[in-house]
A = this chain, B = another copy of it.
Amino acid sequence: MPDSALEADALLQRFQAVAEETRFRVVQILASGERCVCDLQADLGGAAQSRLSFHLKKLKDAGVVCDRRDGRWVYYSLVPETLEEMRAFLGEVKPREGWLPVMRSDEGCC
Binding site for B on A (CB under 8 A): 8, 12, 15-16, 18-21, 24, 28, 30-36, 38-39, 42, 70-71, 73, 75, 77-78, 80, 83-84, 86-87, 90-96, 99-102, 105, 108-110
Contacts and interface: CB of A to CB of B under 8 A. Distances in A.
Interface of A is mostly: mixed
Contact of A18 (B19, B36, B92): B19
23 contacts: A12-B19, A15-B18, A15-B24, A16-B20, A18-B19, A19-B19, A31-B92, A33-B95, A33-B102, A36-B110, A38-B109, A38-B110, A39-B102, A39-B109, A71-B105, A73-B108, A75-B101, A78-B93, A80-B93, A80-B95, A80-B96, A84-B90, A90-B90
B36 A24 contact: no
A71 to B, nearest CB: 6
A86 to B, nearest CB: 5
Contacts of A99: 33-34, 77
Contacts of A101: 34, 36, 70, 75
